[in-house]
Structure 1
Amino acid sequence: MLRVMRRREFARGPAKVGRTATMASIREMRHAAASVSRAGRSCGSPERLKEMVRTMEEMVIKMLAFVSAIRLSCTWCCCAVRSRLSTLARGETLLKGARGSLGFAAIAVSVQRSRRICGVRSLHASVVVLLSVSCAAAPARMASPEQLRALASQLQQVSPGDALVIGAGDIARCGDQLTNARATAAIVQEFPAATVITIGDNAYERGRPEEFANCYDPTWGAFKSRTRPSPGNHEYYSNDFAAGYFAYFKVSEYYSFDLGNWHLVSLDSMIDMSASSDQVAWLRSDLAANSKPCILAYWHHPRFSSGIHGLQRNDPGRRTAVLWTVLAEHHATLILNGHDHDYERFAPRQGIREIVAGTGGGELRPFVRRLGGSEARDDSHYGVLLLTLHPNSYEWHFIGTDAVIYDRSDAPAECSQ
């Protein structure tokens, strides 16, 4: 049974939308800023990498003169920057699974009180500049149909009363990257009995009707009849309130459905998520009426992430705390997200485990830190998340496009009580 809410509402304090987030004010820089740029230069050899790092260092040093206007210590900044750049220059984690053109460069600035940097403890605040440079990730490695079929035959051996869910976020981008979406779709194809979920950013760049027709439909569109989607920020970049997404899938912003002993809820993290919003009111009502013992919710923006979006204070993921609170009150078990183009699994918080699976086809991006509670991370492999939903427990498998399982549960995890 599909329960839906058709009233559309939009965020009172929407996140900035656009392809580039810029540092527009000193106030924003005190929290976090990320600048994403694309270039057509070859990453090439380690020498070329060091040259790029030196260029970025010069840019950061120039930026420090501006930062010092708010009485932040340039000495601490330079020390932190040079320490981070030294790590990057050694190539640690930087060239892993990468080739081709420069994918993005991000500078994040955050204020941390009483932070010890290079042996000096600040009196008021210090600036830590993290530089994350990534080459465009290599195209997804595709296993043969025989390899995928053999793996799927093992994982589909479930007991009566079990249900399979398979999905990912950040999926279909036309052009060279469409190969990645085809590769992840090939995995999904081998699980015909599984319910398919999408975790936002289904069709790049703006979720227009032609992008759904030309990018998503030839890949994941093959499973449209069994897909339960959720929207992402790129669907809303079309400036028509994600009309392409809603026209293609013909669903509401948020809705719920049951699978076996599980209640699944699809939410929209691009609209109002405040405690007084219609979405949260609907969520409370929906969960109050639910009789299933296990609850799974999914939406695009993660509350917790070790990826670049996890550093952004104005990211919509920061506003999902209310959703978490409501779900925790009703003993939810799982939350699935995308947005950061990587795979990450967290230990349960408030009784809820979060898994980020932004690995559906959009170019992968490297982690910029390790957030507390992060139990597994992978920024090198495209793939999908497969969940086996038992009557009172669940198992997970992160399946790469090369038919390798990169993360799995050791034993069924119990539903929250």
Structure 2
Amino acid sequence: MRAWNHNLAPRLAPALACWLLAACVGEPPRPQALPGAAAATLVPSATPALSTPVPTPSPTPAPPVRIAVIGDYGLSSPPEAAVATQVAGLAPDAVVTTGDNNYPAGGADTIDDNIGQYYHRYIGQYQGAYGPGAAENRFFPVLGNHDWQAPGAQPYLDYFALPGNERYYQVDVGPVRVFALDSMPGEPDGTTADSVQGAWLREGLASSGACWNVVVMHHPPYSSGLHGSSEWMQWPFAAWGADMVLAGHDHSYERLAHDGIPYVVNGLGGGALYDLGPPIAESQVQHDGQYGAMLLEADAHTLRFQFVTVDGAVVDDQTLRGGCGG
């Protein structure tokens, strides 16, 4: 065992007493140098500066895009005028049609009265007689059987400035990509799933980066209405990536479910009303009593669609969830 050096005690006593005194009065002890040791220099520690984190404001989400959908409307009639007034009140960013834009026979002499009179404010490059058009086109029709009654549907093709070959095309409206098809059996690029038009849609849906893909045509793949289902248009839309299918031709409203996505028949834009028949298996909602329009509201995560009559009755109101959010 190492022996205690008694000679150090007298020299340590003052230091010990000083240390004890400092502890009693609440001051921190100061280290004392031992005899023969070099004096220590105390360097105060730097006190870290306190900072208040500045919160990053959350970006304000963009309002949903609004798309009005009308069908079988082009008749220059009081019902069409009522639906057009309803559409204007919806303040849509775009108007989409499900065909039969120009009764009775798609003629050049009737097209402006049937369309431009009511919807010129949405039509880009508008050359008609009813006022100014849109600086950028916001009116996206599809061809119907009455539009095709004019040779080559030429008045329709001359009247509108649409993308692609104008008979079928795609356009983006906010987070929604609209694929407009020509469902007439006389379409030069075909109307079957393995046709040129079918391949165009399949490839377009596969490569689409849009949050929502909506396919629009005139002839309904499935319908309980007067004309019934159009079997040649029963393409695998859901498997290809569509979120929703819209059609017209039957002058009624019907929502059906097929392959997990909604199919909607919307033909109540102004033409004579048709009675619905017994509902087919996929039918979920039916209405044939009053004219009206659809409103689609879409953001990155939800797609809400309603059908509302001209007198304000809500016939259908559904919301799809997912989009770019899952």
Tell me the TM-score normalized by structure 2: 0.71
Give the stretch that moved more between structures: 335-344 or 387-396: 387-396
The Cα offsets for residues 330-385 of structure 1, whole Å up to 9 and x where unpaired, read as 331110100000011113x1122101110000011101211112111110110000
- Which of 203, 207, 219 pairs up with 1:285? 203
**1:161–1:292 distance in 2 versus 1, CA, 3 Å:** farther
- Are 1:160 and 2:62 matched, yes or no? yes
Name the CA distance, whole Å, in 1 between partners of 2:61 and 2:289: 33
Kindly report which structure 2 residues correspond to 1:199-278, keeping only aligned pairs within 5 A, or say none. Answer: 199-225=98-124, 226-238=138-150, 240-251=151-162, 252-270=166-184, 271=187, 272-278=190-196
Cα 1:215–1:294 change in 2 (3 A) is closer
Identical-pair percentage: 30
Distance across 2 between alignment mates of 1:220 and 1:357: 18
1:296 and 1:161 mapped to 2: Cα distance? 19
Match of 1:361 in 2: 270
Partners of 1:393 and 1:321 in 2: CA distance: 26
Distance 1:368 1:193 in 2: 32
Partner amino acid, structure 2, of 1:247: D
Q: Secondary structure at the match of 1:247?
A: helix
Residue 185 (structure 1) shift? 0.4
Greater Rg by CA: 2
Who is 1:414 aligned against? 321
Kept after mapping to 2: 8 A contact 1:230/1:298: yes
SS at match of 1:371: coil
Unaligned regions of 5+ residues in structure 2, if any?
1-59, 125-137
Query: CA 1:235–1:289 in 2, change beyond 3 Å: closer, same or farther?
Result: same
Is the CA contact 1:395–1:413 (under 8 Å) kept in the aligned structure 2?
Answer: yes
Pair 1:294-2:212 in alignment:
yes
Question: Counterpart of 2:205 in 1: which secondary structure?
Answer: helix
Q: Secondary structure at the match of 1:220?
A: helix
Q: Report how far residue 287 of structure 1 moved.
A: 1.9
Matched residues in 1 for 2:295 and 2:193: separation? 32
Compute the displacement of 1:236 (Å). Answer: 0.7
The DSSP-based 3-state class of the residue aligned with 1:218 is: helix
SS at match of 2:123: helix
SS in structure 2 of the partner of residue 241 of structure 1? helix
Q: Which one of the candidate residues 170, 187, 197 is aligned to 2:72? A: 170
1:374 alignment partner in structure 2: 283
3-state SS of 1:346 partner: strand
User: Are the aligned partners of 1:345 and 1:354 in contact in 2 as well (CA < 8 Å)?
Assistant: yes
Question: Does residue 183 in structure 1 map to residue 82 in structure 2?
Answer: yes
Q: Is the 8 A contact 2:68 2:92 kept in 1?
A: no
Q: Distance in 2 between matches of 1:356 and 1:159?
A: 32
Corresponding residue pairs, total: 245
Q: Which amino acid aligns with 1:382?
A: Y
Q: CA RMSD in A?
A: 1.9
Aligned equivalent of 2:255: 345
SS of alignment partner, residue 279 of structure 2: coil
User: Could you tell me how far apart the structure 2 residues matched to 1:415 and 1:302 are?
Assistant: 25
Task: Tell whether the 8 Å contact from 2:69 to 2:98 is kept in structure 1 after alignment.
Answer: yes
Structure 1 residue runs of 4 or more that deviate by more than 6 Å after TM superposition: none
What is the CA-CA distance between 1:329 and the residue it aligns to?
A: 2.4
Question: One-letter code of the match for 2:266?
Answer: A
Q: Which amino acid aligns with 1:297?
A: V
CA contact (8 A) 1:212 1:244 kept: yes
1:277 CA displacement? 1.9
The 5 Å alignment of 1:52-131 reads none
1:387 counterpart residue number: 296
Tell me the SS of whatever aligns to 1:190. helix
Instruction: Compute the displacement of 1:415 (Å).
Output: 4.2
Q: Which amino acid aligns with 2:301?
A: N
Q: Is the 8 A contact 1:261 1:392 kept in 2?
A: no
User: Which whole-Å CA distance do the structure 2 matches of 1:413 and 1:346 have between them?
Assistant: 14
Answer yes or no: is the 8 Å Cα contact 2:66–2:91 preserved in 1: no
Counterpart CA distance in 2 for 1:236 and 1:303 is: 19
Cα offset, 1:404, TM superposition: 2.5
| Correspondence for 2:222 | 304
Give distance in 2, aligned partners of 1:291 and 1:386.
23
Superposed CA deviations along residues 274-332 of structure 1, whole A, max 9, x for unmatched, are: 24422112112222321123211100000111111116xxxxx210123xx1x322331
Distance 1:277 1:330, change over 3 A: closer
Q: CA deviation at 1:161?
A: 5.2
Segments of structure 1 that go 5 or more residues without pairing to the other structure are 1-157, 312-316
Q: CA deviation at 1:262?
A: 2.4
